[in-house]
Every structure is written in C-alpha cells, then in structure tokens.
Amino acid sequence: MAKINFGGVTENVVTREEFPIKKAHEVLKNETIAVIGYGVQGPAQSLNMRDNGFNVIIGQSYDFKQDWDRAVKDGWVPGETLFPIGEATRKATIIQYLVSDAAQRIVWPVLKKCLNKGNALYFSHGFSITYMEQTGVVPPDNVDVILVAPKGSGLSVRRNFLAGSGINSSYAVYQDFTGRAEERTLAIGIAIGSGYLFPTTFQNEVYSDLTGERGVLMGAIAGIMEAQYKVLRENGHSPSEAFNETVEELTQSLIRLVDENGMDWMYANCSATAQRGALDWRHKFREAVLPVFNDLYESVKTGNETRIVLERTGSENYKSELEAELREMRESEMWQTGVQVRKLRSSRE
C-alpha cells in the first residue's frame, strides 16, 4: 500500500502501479465472476472487467426484460455468458450482488441457496450487510464477504474507464473465510477500473454514501438550486437569467475548475467581486446547513433512512409515486428552462 498525505492525514491507499492489472489477472485466474443485476452498476463493472480480459458472466432475471435485452445488446449471450440469477450464481466463484438495495432482500433467498463454499459474495454498497436486521441479507459463514464501492454512478464508471482514467473506489472485507478475501477484493477493484482504492468498512461506506446522496451530491444541491432560482424569479429575473446563474455556470464552468485544481484555485481565478462574496458567504451557508447535516447523519446511523427506503420502495404503488415525484421536478419551470438552455448550448457546439 502507498501512504498518501491527505490534508495532513496519512492514509493507506492501493494504486494501479502497486496492484497492476497483471497482478489482478494472476489473483483471479481461476475465478468466474458473476455479475448479478444488469441495472445501474452491473453493466459498467461487467463490461470493464470483460474488456480487461476477466472471465465474467451475467445473472439477470428474464422477468426484467429491459435489463435482459440490454445485456444481450451489450454482447452477453444467453446460455453462454448470460443466465438466470440462480444458474449464474452456481457457475461462479465470485458473485457480484449488484441488484438495487431494495431488490437485494427480495432476491436473497434465491441467491443464498445457490452459493458454494469458498465463494466470494461481493457488494458495491454496505447497505444490505450493515442493516441486515432490516434487509434479512445474512451471509453464510463459509463464504468471503467483500466490498468495492466506486465513488460514482455506473455511467461514470464506464465513461472514465473508456477515457483511460478511473473512478476511485473504497473497499472492505466483512468476512474472510478463505484467507484470500483481501487480495480478491483488491483484484476485483483493479479489474473494474478503479483509479485508486482506499480502505473502509461496510458500515462506514453506507453511512458516508447515504449521507452524501441525501446531502451535497444530490439532495442538498437540488434544494439549494431550487431556493436560489425561486429568489431570483421572485425578484424579477427571467427564467433564462435565473437558470444560468444557478445551474449553468456551476455545471459548465466552475465545477470543472474545482475538479481540475481545487476550490481555492477556482476562487483565485474568478473576479474579485465573486471571490470576496464567496469567501464571506460560505461561512454563513456552512453554519446554516450544519444542523441539517447532523440530523441527516443521525437518521442514517440509526437506520431510519433504511427503514424509509425499504418501506417506500416496497409499496405496491411505488413506481407510479416515484414517477409523479420525478414528473413534478421535470415539469418545474427551472428544469424546463434547463431543457431549452441545453438545446441552445448544443446548437452552438
């Protein structure tokens, strides 16, 4: 492992230089990897591993025909590299359990009875194991239980791989039956194209992930955008002006500079007026939202967020309820303005 200093804190991380793809091939040379679920992470991780030359098969329920057909379109062959979930599990030595969190507790009885002694049961989210009292996903004692969690969507995992870079991933071992759990974990992490790997636990991964999704990554940023857009519109600004100042400049300019060089560099390379205002107001925003983040983390830690997810997604009417919520967002003035802004942007490219 490499020791890297992150802002004064030293962490052990695993890079592709220390654990090259050749080493991953050596570790996994006798393994068959079954990717269970061809929804969000499944396509990206399986295609990356296939492109890297690993022995990969897909386990997907034919009842979800859209996902089955997508797998066929991507070159997985029914009866050869594409199978029903139970059959794929029995054929594999490493089982990547990549159906959705809500589906994992439903599929688990089928998958569990197909596991073999010495298998590795792989997750990309600590959800089902950390909250096993709610999910019912309790692994047998005679398998490895491991995790590699890419810090990005499936689309980003695939795009970065094709671009020659990689999404960074956390990794963890929950149960080491074979004595090889860690090397299997690291090899899979390299096989799926991780930029680098940093250690965590199943619990820490799900606590940070659920907080991040509800916070900065999705929930908070959407709420902040809606609030600023509303204030601008109520004070007489046009939809175009409000959207450009709220969303377009962030996504098309500033966040890219932050990605490339950091927040301080972006601040140093904007106007003095913007710089001064940002430096002054960031403290006010931090103090305003800190109580919300404390409440959020506590809700994650106590399992309340898990209860909400399982209850809501388990509802008979969930698909229609979800579509209504997404439609409300999609048809709002702000995001309808966004549709037009993106069209205008693409027309000049």
Domains of the chain: 2-200 (3.40.50.720), 215-347 (no CATH)
Dist CA 105 CA 120 (whole Å): 18
- Look up residue 18 and give its two tokens: 């220390």
Residue 270, by phi and psi: left (phi above 0), alpha (psi -120 to 50) or beta?
A: beta
Are the CB atoms for 54 and 79 separated by under 8 Å? no
Catalytic position from the list 25, 125, 237, 283: 125
Please give the pLDDT value at position 347.
63
Q: Are 308 and 213 in contact (CB under 8 A)?
A: no
The pLDDT score that the predictor gives to residue 29 is 96
Note the pLDDT tens digit of each residue in 222-250.
Answer: 999 999 999 999 999 999 999 999 999 99
Q: Known catalytic residue: 237?
A: no
pLDDT in tens, 182-194: 999 999 999 999 9
List of the chain residues with pLDDT < 50: none
Instruction: Measure the CA–CA gap between 237 and 239, rounded to whole angstroms.
Output: 7
Among candidates 138, 132, 137, 149, which has minimal Cα distance to 185? 149
pTM: 0.90
Distance in angstroms (rounded) separating the CA atoms of residues 151 and 124: 10
What is the rounded CA–CA span in Å between residue 30 and residue 23?
Answer: 13
Q: State how far the alpha carbon of 120 is from the alpha carbons of 2, 35, 319, in Å.
A: 25, 12, 33
Amino acid at 309: V
User: What was the pLDDT predicted at 9?
Assistant: 87
